[in-house]
Every structure is written in structure tokens, then in C-alpha cells.
Amino acid sequence: MTTKKPNSRGVLILFYAESDEAGWENRRNPLGTLTDYLKEHQNRQSYPEIPQPGYRLPQIKRNLTTDEPDRLDSRDGDWIVTRVHRYSAMSGNCEWEETVICYCQYQPVTPQWERVPRLEEISQEKKPEFVATSSE
Amino acid sequence: MIEDDAPKKKIFRKPAVSRKYCEQMRDKYNLNLIDVEVTQDQTFKVNCVFYNEEFNFQELWYDN
């Protein structure tokens, strides 16, 4: 049985569209050049989960239709991972221990938007209570 | 039969005064930062969006 070694510097996960996928002619970077780059995840977890083929890239958007001033919604997006290539850092002073490139195909699904909760909302049960302790 | 009792992952957001702050929280609490969205909230500038298993949120909650 192999023991999983903790990842000390995390994983940078880059999502790219497969060549000639939907919308390629309109997908440009800030310099105006055509690009297949879609998104990235910056994962500093000790045991980061690497996306596998079939993983749907989450889509996040601002919802301006409600009274909540900075509401965000999320859903399983229209891009699905088809292949995954992993690259390890060559030196000890790299910012990331590993870089992963996930190539994606456009396979749209019916949007099912859900509100993204604030941290305070999902951790209500863990709200700390400060109790004075005496040292003896 | 082995039950899947792995902690559930959640997408959640934490407002922040800068994008740099999102990266600092990412590093300090070993989080998975999946998005940074600009907000029109008067107090904060961005929302840091994380995707993580449930963990001890207490420290992150009070980190401003």
C-alpha cells in the first residue's frame, strides 16, 4: 500500500479548450490574441484533487437581478475535461509543485444556477464561542 | 460495502478588499481558489471563490 505524500506547494490547474472548439474565433486574451485558455484553479491543498476526464468546469457569474448587492451564482459549466496532462516542478523554488493542463470540449448543459453562499453562512454551526478559561 | 464518508466539497465566497487578499487566504489556509469576481459592494472590492471540503472555518471567518 503506497502512502500519499502531501503536496507542499500546491497545484496550478489550467483549463484549455481543445483546438477549434466552439467560440474559438472570439476567445481572445487581454492582448487581443486568439487563445484557448478558459480558466485556472489555484489549489494549495495538501492533497489536491486533480480533475479527471468528465469533470465539468464550474461556472461563476454575478447575479444582478436580486436585492443582494454582491450575489454570485454557480453551476456546472458547459466545458467538460477530456484529457489531463500533469507537469512537475523542476526546482525547489517554483511557486507550484505541479501544473496540470486540462483540455476541454464544449458540451453545453441546461443551466441550473445556484446561489454561492458566503463563508459565514455555511459555517454557522462552527461559529466560535469565546469562553474564558482559567489557567491553574 | 464501503460507505463514502469523504467530506463534502462546497463552493463558497469570502468578500475581500483586494485580489491579493484572495491569494493570501489561499496560501494561509491551503484552499482551492477557483475564481475572483469583482463586486460592487461598498466595503469590499472582490469576492474570493473557493471550492473545498468542509474544514475549520473559524480562523478564516475572522481573518480580515
Measured between CA atoms, the residue of chain A closest to residue B28 is A44
Please give the pLDDT value at position A33: 95
**pLDDT for A24-55, tens place per residue?**
999 999 999 999 999 999 999 988 999 999 99
Range scoring the smallest mean pLDDT among A33-37, A95-99, A125-129, B25-29: A125-129
- ipTM for the complex? 0.82
Cβ neighbors of A16 (< 8 A, separation 6 or more) are: A36, A37, A38, A101, A102, A103, A104
Q: Which chain B residues contact residue A74 at CB under 8 A?
A: 11, 49
Please say if the pLDDT value at position A104 is more than 90: yes
In terms of pLDDT, which residue wins out, B52 or A76?
A: A76
* Domain residue extents for chain A: 2-118
Provide the CA A27 distance to its chain's centre, in angstroms. Answer: 19
Can you name the residues that pair with B38 across neighbouring β-strands? B46
Q: How many CA atoms lie within 13 A of B41 on its CB side?
A: 20
Please say if the pLDDT value at position B56 is more than 70: no
Q: What is the pTM of this model?
A: 0.84
Contact yes or no for B32 and A58 at CB 8 A: no
pLDDT-based confidence at residue B2 (cuts at 50, 70, 90): very low
Q: How many helices (H) and strands (E) does chain A have?
A: 1, 6
Cβ neighbors of B53 (< 8 A, separation 6 or more) are: B6, B7, B8, B9, B10
Which residues of B touch chain A, with CB atoms under 8 Å apart?
10-15, 23, 26-27, 30-35, 37, 39-41, 44, 47, 49, 51-52, 54, 56-58, 60-62
In terms of pLDDT, which residue wins out, A79 or A132?
A: A79
d(CA B46, CA A86) in angstroms, rounded, equals 30
Please give the pLDDT value at position B40: 77
